Amino acid sequence: MMRSTLLDHFSALEDSRQAWKVVYPLSEILLIVLCGTMAGAEDFADIERWAIHKLAFLRRFLPFVRGVPSHDTLNDVMNALPAKLFSECFVAIPLLLARFELEGALVTIDAIGCQKDIAEAIRARGADFLLALKDNWPTLAEDVRLFFEREPAKPGEVFASTDGDHGRIELRRCRVSHDVAWLSTNRRFPGEPRFPALAMIGMIEAEVEREGKSSLSRRYYLFSAPLSPEKFAAAARAHWGVENRLHWVLDVVFHDDLMRLRTANGPANMAVVKHMILNLIKEIPDKASLKTRRKTLGWDDQYLANAISQPWK
């Protein structure tokens, strides 16, 4: 089973800032703070200076369209993050779900969250799941792909829409199927994930034309709610709207009364960062001392990249 990296967990945090005022995405700020501290920076001024010199390295992971935020911005954001949720976002997803009031919500999670225990945790909270299906379950993903390729669509199973801007035209076809009984028959493969209350599978096909060139992509999903293709399209689009370049995204769609705390939590959050870094350094497959590993993180970009990309326990 695919294991998440430390960076994956950052996407569980909700940005408390007003969206229209945000210049630097939360994921970028957290990446700077994590890597800068790992590389030896001792305060936010150090972290800012490190990031300015390592912007090319940082862009290997995230866009950083606006460059590097000031040390004051780093300080303000780390103080604004709810300390308890910041700490909890690094535990398993099912434990994180237990913090949220999810009754009646539709929870969407990217492919790394396509796991049986996560689906069970969502259902136990009185919510429905929409899980992205990719190569984390290769046989299941291939079977769903072949189903949509070979089986003709029935009336009412397809919804199409067209978007266009800046010379780009996208035709999106959303197809659903409530015929999922075949996914739980005895002929299925050993070790197959049996998702609770599975009610529907879905596919979104996007055909994009830009500057005389076209591309075609398809995404596949598992659902516990028998949605219409129109509602499926809306849910998937809402999920993409918050998706970032990290590996998984937790988004509660159509439900916006989650708890938010507003306190200065900088010291507690930085203590969590340093604790995480210590754990990461201990897990680096290197016979050198912890002190030497820490120094190497500041000297060697690839060593640092490998450290933050290793599976997080």
Find the DSSP H helices in 156-285.
229-242, 266-283
Which tokens belong to 300? 């060697």
User: Which of 20, 2, 213, 228 lies closest to 118 in space, CA to CA?
Assistant: 2
Query: Which pTM value belongs to this model?
Result: 0.50
What are 5's strand-pairing partners?
311
Which tokens belong to 229? 């293709």
Give the residue carrying structure tokens 């034309």.
209
pLDDT in tens, the chain (313 residues): 334 566 666 655 666 666 666 788 888 999 999 999 999 888 899 999 999 999 999 999 889 999 999 999 998 888 877 776 676 565 555 655 665 567 777 777 665 556 777 788 888 888 888 888 876 677 888 889 999 999 999 999 999 998 877 778 889 999 999 998 888 655 555 555 567 688 999 999 999 888 888 899 999 999 998 999 998 888 877 655 433 332 333 444 333 322 222 335 777 778 778 777 877 888 899 999 888 999 999 999 999 999 988 765 5
The CA distance from 68 to 262, in Å, is 25
Q: pLDDT value at position 135?
A: 67
Q: pLDDT value at position 114?
A: 61
The CA distance from 166 to 99, in Å, is 41
Neighbouring residues of 294: CB distance < 8 A, sequence distance ≥ 6: 38, 40, 281
Which tokens belong to 220? 């596949």
Residue 68 phi/psi, 5° resolution? Answer: -105, 130
Q: pLDDT value at position 29?
A: 92
Distance of CA 75 to the CA centre of its chain: 24
User: Which of 154, 109, 119, 131 lies closest to 249 in space, CA to CA?
Assistant: 109
